[in-house]
Structure 1
């Protein structure tokens, strides 16, 4: 993701192929995963930077082709994480993970 509109978005985008190999990272993703190697993670398996529990969930997402979303808080920073399969020509091609900082308290609206 060295070019285009996604490069400098203020949230992390990490893309894997169908084997779990990281194929793209935007600037925020590189920064988020700096302690694991940052840009050098491209070409490595996503399992290399996730716990066994997280790897189990990633395997489930791959097998069921369903999205997974959750919030986390680390070092006082709350984030929304959204992981979803992506497709190319109708065939499963890998996973995309979006990770963005969100406010500690966030409005929620029910619209009709």
Structure 2
């Protein structure tokens, strides 16, 4: 995997997979977030997703589209953004950013 050292200590969780959905890399926050799953590097996202979400993952990889949504778990709100990463102009996989949000977050129209 290419050098993702810049992302290793980000305050958000970052997970990178290849076109087959195999996890290639996670930063420290993602490793902490998903520690109950153990070491997931080299494992398929299919193993931890429903058929519906696995189909969405495949659509994003096939079409080069992104997906964003918010969740709340254990009182913590998060923004999840999943988007393709590219190598030599072709979709090479997906990267997921999981960003913890404050309880109140301003929204600006610019």
Give every structure 1 segment of 4 or more consecutive aligned residues whose post-TM-superposition deviation is greater than 4 Å. none
Would you say 1:11 and 2:12 are equivalent positions? yes
Return the offset for 1:59.
Answer: 1.8
1:75 aligns with 74
Distance change >3 Å, CA 104–CA 46, structure 1 → 2: same
Q: TM-score, normalised by structure 1?
A: 0.89
SS of alignment partner, residue 7 of structure 2: coil
Moved more, 53-62 or 76-85: 53-62
How large is the RMSD of aligned CA atoms in angstroms? 1.6
Which whole-Å CA distance do the structure 1 matches of 2:24 and 2:6 have between them? 17
What are structure 2's unaligned runs of at least 5 residues? none
SS of alignment partner, residue 35 of structure 1: helix
Matched residue count: 109
SS of alignment partner, residue 13 of structure 1: strand
Moved more, 48-57 or 7-16: 48-57
- The Cα offsets for residues 12-53 of structure 1, whole Å up to 9 and x where unpaired, read as 00000111100010000101111111xx10000112222333
Q: TM-score, normalised by structure 2?
A: 0.91
Equivalent runs, 1:1-112 vs 2, <5 Å: 4-37=5-38, 40-111=39-110
What are structure 1's unaligned runs of at least 5 residues? none
Which whole-Å CA distance do the structure 2 matches of 1:51 and 1:68 have between them? 16
